[in-house]
Structure 1
Amino acid sequence: MTERKPPGMSAETWVERQIRQAQERGAFDNLPGAGKPLPNLHARRDENWWIKQKLADEGLSADVLLPEPLRLRKEIDGLRESVRPLPTERQVRDAVAQLNRRIADWLRAPSGPAVPVGPMDADDVVRQWREDRPTVPKPPPPEAPRTRWWRR
């Protein structure tokens, strides 16, 4: 691309010839981002576009930007769904205890907006966890050994 446009040739024709020659040389093969869509140029009008782009690149949710009380409130609201796949009651209680520790830490030194947040009752969460679990039918008890007619 160091050669200059010859006099008398239109700029468009010269540019297109340069592009065609570069394609023939393979200069556009294996470029990073090949096959990916162009970034949304209208999104750059937002003053926080770079934050949103970084979150998308890292695969993070915007929840990491929330103040601590709002994050805790969202975790409290989603606790029922987050403990549903846990296999044992001990793990459910541990998850509730971990959340309660974070709530207690925030209550000791609150920062951010005043959002009412209180500790969760582990027994209530376990009760809901048991109700949400699919009921697995218990196998029937084994039959008592039959006595033979000559031993009666």
Structure 2
Amino acid sequence: MSDEEFPMSENDVYLTQSKSQRDLFEYLASMNVEKGYADDDKAVVDAFLKREAETSTGMFDGIAIPHAISPHIKESRIMVVKNAVPIPWETFDDKDVIVAIAFLIPEQGSQEHLSLLSRVAEKLVDEDNRHTLLNLETSQEIYHWVTGK
């Protein structure tokens, strides 16, 4: 896959110590603004929270796929956070989240969003793939798992 098909770099993977879902969203939003992918961190946080209010993005085995769609996001990005401690999150198996694969999409990019989400979700269906992701320790390893590069 080319970078155009998978809008992510190794610099979009973070090992963090967020204390809550909102804390994680604030961190992601600030990183997006800092890197020039978005122009308003509060609007990005609000977009994440709005999506969570519709339906939780928590999956299985400590993984979530939160997404934010906003006119304040200038370009599509995938950012991954592996948290040092589990974060309370509504999931299918009631397990707290350790890894969040976040999709940040401009308002006009929703079709791309669905395609990228589908690619990642396909990998997450397999239990072995989920366990592999959870056991990766470096940003580089996580980047390679998500992108297949």
Q: Same fold (TM over 0.5)?
A: no
More strand by share: 2
Greater C-alpha Rg: 1
Normalised by the length of structure 2, the TM-score is 0.24
**TM-score where L is the length of structure 1:** 0.23
Q: Which has the higher contact order (CA 8 A, sep 6+)?
A: 2
| Greater helix share, structure number | 1
